[in-house]
């Protein structure tokens, strides 16, 4: 966010939510030098200014935009409604005919909501020529006002005055009406203005800005504001999600995306008419699934710049009227609703809890989810561990360094045992029964539960060779109700899915289709731990500990203890960051 | 490796500078080839590992390892006889250390000193890549039933580093840049080159592929390796530039192209690349032309 010119900085900040273009529209007056791209009302063409676009629509399609505006005597807001009405019609593939457009068609306040994000036409409304019949209109307005019955909400003193001086009275009355209208419009956007203000304050982390309650004033001096930006220590985390590649990997992970899609599309009754919150929406795919499934409103939140692409995607798919994009951290943004019926999110990291996104989901659950009836999608998770034996893997990744083109490279082995290695392992690498050591009911789990020590145990398989380490993975479950009791803590995703055609779940383990989460491989440090004596059918057991990494907020530290009746317990720790 | 160990006569008793030495593998090759002394320079903390490796291989008195920027450090020798470096990046120039090598050359290399390698050439050819283009680019047209075209534009503008099969190549390759490391300057890294691609068979062109060859001309028997689709895999793979259009081409036709490359103004390790293409044929339905902008970052 640094090193931008003030205007860009401003528009960047204010792109936080759909409605904020309104503030932009106000500020745009200060900045008419900017080059604009006005998208045609009726086709895809782009024009450098509004007038040439309007001329194009008149010449090619016979739509006289200014004519309609003048005929209906539309004011600033009315003109905005007119634009959005036409854009909405075009977007729906409906025809637009001048004669259909009346004051009544434009009455609906939903047309105040921009159909196009950053609609350049709306932003440069002030550049359009004054209405031709401005003077006539003013006269006829006065005529209307005279015809109105006097009194109503206006005080008796004034009505007495009115009888004496009708001209002044009608003007006062008109003024009062306009003020009431203005107040109503201000109210309509009050929430959003508040959200903008808070976002700006947080962005700039400037207490002095907070004293000056006007976001526009705060934004005037973009350079100062930019200088005050403090890098969030996890900003890199959000930036890492700003590029295509990572989203391509996630979307093409069909195990992942299909599970969400199937759950949402096969349970439309759960989504119909509901308010849904999508946390970490990325490109917007889950939000669009929910919208297609009939959700009344979807709020898509992401703190990465990918949100700009999500907005475009959502618009291109005609879902902007259902899905509202909000940029920011879920802990900091202000949502346009108090409660939501469903929270959908794809928050899982390597070994389930790497990236530490789950606390944000739990925060949103406690703050926004309907406490009795609200549903989390997905709803349950279990984490698994199994002993690992894979001599090929060990020779490819560890023994290799002993002789590199004739040189001793063992120095490169340092730390090779210290990290959890995300790797796809073949099922044949597992040398004992898997053990489910942690089960999370996401409706009730707390942040404190995410740091834990749990017991695990395994029976070594018949063809076991040396114990080389452990593999950790997780299963995800999508229950249709928060009171589901069929998901037992030790059921595998495959077993649960097989028990009913309605059950949607997936595994990231070595017995399922590979996913972008791979598995977490924990290799035993041969230089430090004693070899574990293996034998078919032998029991191995111990504990596994999940902790946050000391110097890495989104990292994870895993500690595994293992032993048997005959062999004393040994312990090793792995980090993941 | 061969260039060094097969040319002991060139390395014997020489002072060698290894630019961006990494784990010091090239430095150790140079010692084995008889160098009097090798200075390995790297900015990364990998140098700590390199020191351990050099020590366990008993070469610590022959190799001096320095952590730092070439532009800022001081070498224990005022001049060196040979510079060795593995500076090449994807598309040869992306994130490459060539500017550092050239700086070292100008400051430390004796007159008539040797550079390993000393020649680099970028080649371009047209490829048929319909399936993969569908998978990488067309994917965004329909993502689980949704239109994702905003991400398609981004995908088109990002050259793809991947392996291309030789059978996908539809045209003769042509070189667009040759660098002689003894004479070139950093200004040569921004270049424009018009070129023609001669079509070898009736097919479609979905993309251009680029790769590079590296020459060690100082060797007694010149050593060369290529990172092209016709030879064995290297970690550089090839770089694929998808075109907006699909060109329908016939054997013997020429596609007129030009390639413009320059380091990004803000981040000079990123590259801004422009490719223009024009297919002139008598068949108006196959006429095509356009330009694409790419950013490697």
In this structure, the answer to whether residues A107 and A138 fall within a common structural domain is: no
Give the residue from chain A lying closest to B153, CA to CA.
A244
pLDDT (0 to 100) of residue A212: 39
For B136, nearest residue in chain A (alpha carbons)? A248
* Least confident span in A10-24, A262-276, A557-571: A10-24
3-state DSSP assignment of residue A99: helix
**Is A411 close to B145, i.e. CB distance below 8 A?**
no
Q: How far is B29 from chain A (nearest CA, A)?
A: 9
Q: Does one domain contain both A391 and A489?
A: yes
Distance from the Cα of B144 to chain A's closest Cα (Å) equals: 8
A145 has pLDDT over 50: no
CA distance A515 to A524: 24
Per-residue pLDDT band for A146 (boundaries 50, 70, 90) equals very low
The arithmetic mean of pLDDT across residues B174-180, rounded, is: 97
Does residue B150 sit at the A interface (CB-CB below 8 Å)? Answer: yes
- State whether A320 and A335 are in the same domain: yes
pLDDT value of residue A35: 60
Is A402 at the interface with chain B, CB within 8 A?
no
% of chain A surpassing 70 pLDDT: 79
> What's the pLDDT score for residue A166?
56
The model's pLDDT over B15-60, given as tens digits with 9 standing for 90+, comes to 999 999 999 999 999 999 999 999 999 999 999 999 999 999 999 9
Residue A280 resides in a domain: yes
The enclosing H or E element of B14 equals none
d(CA B287, CA A171): 67
Altogether, the residues listed in chain B come to a count of 297
- pTM, to two decimals: 0.69
Residue A212 lies in a domain: no
pLDDT band at A200 (very low <50, low <70, confident <90, very high): low
Candidate from A20-29, A432-441, A530-539, B178-187 with smallest mean pLDDT: A20-29
Instruction: Let me know how long chain A is.
Output: 577
Pairing of strands A342-345, A275-279: parallel
Taking CA–CA distances from B5, the nearest residue in chain A reads A405
CB atoms within 10 A of CB A416: 13
Contact B63, B38 (CB under 8 A): yes
Asked if A484 contacts A399 with a C-beta cutoff of 8 angstroms, the reply is no
Distance CA A556, CA A1 (A): 29
Who wins on pLDDT, A184 or B10?
B10
From chain B, pick out residues whose CB is under 8 angstroms from the CB of A414: 49
Indicate the DSSP class of residue A36.
-
Distance from CA of B150 to the nearest CA of A (A): 6
The predicted structure's pLDDT at residue A160: 44
Return the pLDDT at A167. Answer: 72
- What pLDDT, in 10s, does the model give residues A387-422? 999 999 988 888 899 999 999 998 888 778 999 999
Mean pLDDT of A452-467: 95
Q: How many Å apart are CA A364 and CA A279, to the nearest integer? A: 9
CB pairs under 8 A between A and B: 62
Closest residue in A to B46 (Cα) is A412
Report the chain B residue with the minimal C-alpha distance to residue A316: B147
Same domain as A519, residue A419: yes
Which of A248, A355, A514, A566 is flagged as catalytic?
A355
Task: Give the pLDDT of residue A220.
Answer: 35
Contact at CB, A407 and B25, closer than 8 angstroms? yes
* One domain, residues A440 and A483: yes
What CATH number should be reported for the domain holding residue A426? 2.70.160.11
Q: What is the C-alpha end-to-end distance of chain B, expressed in Å? A: 30
Q: Which of A19, A20, A28, A346 is catalytic?
A: A346
Mutate to test the interface with B, among A244, A400, A406 (most CBs of B within 10 A): A244
Residues A243 and A144 in one domain: no
Q: Kindly report the number of other CB atoms within 10 A of residue A454's CB atom.
A: 15
Query: Does residue A166 have a cis peptide bond before it, meaning omega lies within 30 degrees of 0?
Result: no
CB-CB under 8 Å, A405 with B1: yes
> Is the pLDDT score of A149 beyond 60?
no
Rg of chain A on CA atoms, in Å: 31
- Most B CBs within 10 Å: which of A411, A412, A414, as the mutation test of the B interface? A411
> Domains in chain A: how many in total?
4
Is the confidence at residue B246, as pLDDT, over 80? yes
Is B49 an interface residue toward A (CB < 8 Å)? Answer: yes
d(CA A576, CA A353): 10
How would you classify the pairing of strands B288-296 and B37-42?
A: unpaired
B139 and A CB contact within 8 Å: yes
Which residue in the list B52, B72, B95, B158 is annotated as catalytic? Answer: B95
A309/B151 Cβ within 8 A: yes
What whole-number distance in Å separates Cα of residue B112 and Cα of residue B10?
12
Kindly state whether residues A145 and A105 are assigned to the same domain: no
Task: State whether A288 and B53 contact (CB < 8 Å).
Answer: no
Domain C-terminal end among A321, A346, A371:
A346
* CA distance, residue B3 to nearest chain A CA (Å): 14
* The token pair that represents B35 in the structure block: 């160098």
Choose the mutation target among B5, B33, B48, B151 for the interface with A, i.e. most A CBs under 10 Å: B151
Could you tell me the residue range of the domain that residue A141 belongs to?
134-151+159-199
A140/A102 same-domain check:
no
CATH number of the domain within which A266 lies: 3.40.50.150
Which of 43-72 (A) contact B at CB < 8 A? none
Residue A215 belongs to a domain: no
- Cα gap B258→B281, rounded to integer Å: 18
Catalytic, A181? Answer no
Mean pLDDT is highest, among A107-111, B93-97, B234-238, for B234-238
CA-nearest of A467, A316, A402 to B152 is A316
- A245 and A305 share one domain: yes
pLDDT one-digit tens code per residue, A270-318:
999 999 999 999 999 999 999 999 999 999 999 999 999 999 999 999 9
Cross-strand pairs, B19: B41, B85
* pLDDT tens, residue by residue, A75-120: 878 888 888 888 888 888 777 777 778 877 788 878 888 888 778 8
Q: What mean pLDDT value characterizes chain A? A: 81
Among A residues 119-158, those touching chain B with beta carbons less than 8 Å apart: none
User: A388, A359 in Cβ contact below 8 A?
Assistant: no
B141: chain A residues, CB-CB within 8 Å = none
What is d(CA A304, CA A16) in angstroms, rounded to the nearest whole number?
Answer: 11
C-alpha closest to that of A257 among A294, A293, A286: A286
Residue A263 covered by a domain: yes
Residue A461 within any structural domain of the chain: yes
- pLDDT band of A159, cuts 50, 70, 90: very low
Token pair for A526 = 């041969």
Distance CA B255, CA B259 (A): 13
Say if B155 is an interface residue toward chain A (CB within 8 Å): yes
Residues A410 and A533 in one domain: yes
**Assigned domain for A26 exists:** no
**Residue A253 in domain:** yes
**Interchain proximity A316–B149, CB inside 8 Å:** yes
CB B24 within 8 A of CB B53: yes
Residue B144 with chain A: CB contacts under 8 Å: 251, 257, 261, 285, 289
Q: Are B277 and B289 in contact (CB under 8 A)?
A: yes
| Higher-pLDDT residue of A66, A462 | A462
Question: Residue A131 — pLDDT band, cuts 50, 70, 90?
Answer: low
**Chain position carrying tokens 């984490």:** A383
Say if A70 falls within a structural domain: yes
Quick check: A313 and B150 CB within 8 A?
yes
> A401, A560, A378: which is closest to A467 by C-alpha?
A560
Give the integer Cα–Cα distance in Å for B237 and B161: 6
Sign, CA dihedral B226-B228-B234-B240, equals positive
Q: In chain B, which residues have their Cβ closer than 8 Å to the Cβ of A261?
A: 144
Give the per-residue SS3 of A465-511: CCCCEEEEEEEEEECCCCCCCCCCCCCCHHHHHHCCCCCEEEECCCC
Catalytic residue among B60, B86, B165, B256: B86
Tell me if ipTM is over 0.90: no
Query: Would you state the pLDDT for residue A291?
Result: 98
Task: Examine the domain organization and report whether A441 and A319 are in the same domain.
Answer: no
Which is higher by pLDDT, B102 or A176?
A: B102
On whether both A242 and A312 belong to a single domain, the answer is: yes
Q: What is the spatial distance between Cα A398 and Cα A417, in angstroms, rounded to a whole number?
A: 9
B270 or A109, greater pLDDT? B270
CB-based contact A537:A459 (threshold 8 Å): yes
Band of residue A22 on the pLDDT scale cut at 50, 70, 90: very low
φ, ψ of residue A294 to 5 degrees: the values are 105, 10
A346 as an active site residue: the answer is yes
**pLDDT of amino acid A209:** 34
């Amino acid at each position: 966010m640094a090193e931008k010119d003030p205007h860009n900085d401003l528009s960047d900040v204010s792109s936080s939510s759909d409605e904020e273009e309104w503030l932009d529209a106000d500020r745009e007056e200060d900045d008419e030098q900017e080059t604009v791209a006005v998208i045609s009302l009726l086709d895809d063409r782009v024009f450098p200014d509004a007038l040439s676009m309007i001329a194009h629509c008149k010449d090619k399609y016979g739509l006289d935009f200014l004519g309609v505006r003048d005929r209906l005597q539309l004011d600033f807001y009315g003109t905005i409604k007119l634009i959005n009405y036409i854009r909405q019609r075009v977007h729906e593939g409906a025809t637009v005919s001048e004669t259909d457009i009346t004051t009544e068609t434009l009455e609906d306040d939903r047309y105040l909501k921009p159909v196009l994000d950053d609609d350049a036409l709306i932003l440069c409304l002030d550049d359009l020529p004054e209405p031709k019949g401005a003077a006539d209109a003013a006269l006829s307005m006065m005529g209307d006002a005279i015809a109105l019955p006097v009194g109503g909400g206006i005080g008796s003193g004034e009505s007495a005055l009115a009888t004496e001086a009708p001209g002044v009275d009608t003007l006062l009355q008109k003024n009062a009406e306009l003020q009431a209208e203005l107040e109503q419009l201000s109210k309509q956007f009050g929430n959003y203005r508040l959200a903008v203000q808070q976002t700006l304050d947080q962005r700039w982390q400037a207490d002095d800005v907070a004293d000056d309650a006007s976001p526009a004033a705060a934004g005037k001096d973009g350079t100062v504001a930019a200088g005050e930006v403090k890098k969030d220590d996890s900003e890199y985390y959000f930036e890492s999600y700003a590029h295509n590649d990572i989203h391509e990997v996630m979307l093409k992970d069909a195990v992942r995306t299909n599970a969400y899609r199937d759950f949402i599309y096969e349970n439309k009754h759960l989504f119909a008419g509901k308010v849904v919150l999508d946390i970490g929406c990325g490109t917007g795919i889950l939000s669009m699934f929910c919208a297609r499934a009939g959700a009344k409103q979807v709020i898509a939140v992401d703190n990465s710049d990918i949100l700009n692409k999500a907005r475009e995607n959502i618009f291109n798919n005609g879902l902007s009227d259902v899905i509202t994009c909000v940029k920011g951290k879920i802990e900091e943004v202000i949502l346009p609703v108090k409660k939501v019926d469903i929270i959908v999110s794809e928050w899982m990291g390597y070994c389930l809890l790497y990236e530490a996104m789950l606390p944000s989901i739990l925060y949103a659950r406690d703050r926004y989810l309907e406490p009795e009836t609200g549903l989390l999608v997905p709803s349950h998770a279990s984490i698994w561990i199994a002993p690992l034996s894979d001599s090929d893997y060990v020779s490819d990744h560890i023994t290799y360094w002993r002789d590199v083109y004739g040189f001793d490279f063992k120095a490169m082995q340092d730390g090779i045992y210290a990290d959890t290695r995300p790797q796809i392992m073949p099922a044949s690498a597992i040398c004992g029964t898997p053990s489910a050591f942690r089960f999370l009911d996401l409706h009730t789990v707390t942040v404190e539960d995410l740091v834990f020590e749990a017991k695990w145990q395994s029976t070594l398989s018949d063809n076991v060779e040396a114990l080389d380490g452990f593999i950790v993975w997780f299963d995800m479950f999508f229950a249709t109700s928060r009171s589901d009791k069929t998901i037992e803590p030790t059921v595998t995703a495959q077993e649960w899915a097989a028990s009913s055609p309605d059950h949607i779940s997936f595994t990231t383990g070595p017995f399922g289709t590979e996913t972008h989460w791979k598995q977490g491989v924990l290799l035993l440090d041969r230089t430090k731990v004693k070899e574990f004596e293996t034998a078919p059918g032998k029991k191995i057991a111990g504990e596994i500990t999940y902790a946050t990494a000391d110097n890495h907020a989104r990292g994870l530290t895993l500690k595994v203890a293992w032993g048997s009746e005959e062999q004393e317990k040994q312990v090793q720790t792995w980090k993941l960051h | 490796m061969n260039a060094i160990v097969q040319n002991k006569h060139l390395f014997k008793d020489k002072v060698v500078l290894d630019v961006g030495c990494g784990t010091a593998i090239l430095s150790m090759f140079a010692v084995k080839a008889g160098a009097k002394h090798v200075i390995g320079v790297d900015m990364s903390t990998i140098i700590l590992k390199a020191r351990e490796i050099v020590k366990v291989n008993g070469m610590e008195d022959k190799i001096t390892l320095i952590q730092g920027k070439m532009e800022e450090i001081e070498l224990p020798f005022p001049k060196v006889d040979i510079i060795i470096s593995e500076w090449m990046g994807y598309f040869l120039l992306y994130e490459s250390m060539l500017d550092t090598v050239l700086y070292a050359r100008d400051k430390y290399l004796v007159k008539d000193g040797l550079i390993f390698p000393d020649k680099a050439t970028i080649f371009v050819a047209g490829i048929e890549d319909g399936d993969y283009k569908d998978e990488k680019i067309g994917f965004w047209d329909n993502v689980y039933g949704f239109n994702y075209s905003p991400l398609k534009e981004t995908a088109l503008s990002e050259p793809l580093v991947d392996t291309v099969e030789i059978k996908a190549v539809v045209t003769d390759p042509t070189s667009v840049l040759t660098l002689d490391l003894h004479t070139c300057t950093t200004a040569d890294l921004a270049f424009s080159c018009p070129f023609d691609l001669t079509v070898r068979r009736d097919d479609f062109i979905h993309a251009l592929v680029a790769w590079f060859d590296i020459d060690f001309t100082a060797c007694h028997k010149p050593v060369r390796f290529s990172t092209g689709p016709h030879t064995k895999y290297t970690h550089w793979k090839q770089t694929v530039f998808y075109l907006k259009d699909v060109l329908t081409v016939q054997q013997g036709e020429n596609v007129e192209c030009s390639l413009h490359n320059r380091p990004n103004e803000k981040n000079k390790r990123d590259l801004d690349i422009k490719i223009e293409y024009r297919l002139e044929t008598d068949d108006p339905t196959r006429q095509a032309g356009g330009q694409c902008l790419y950013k490697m970052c």
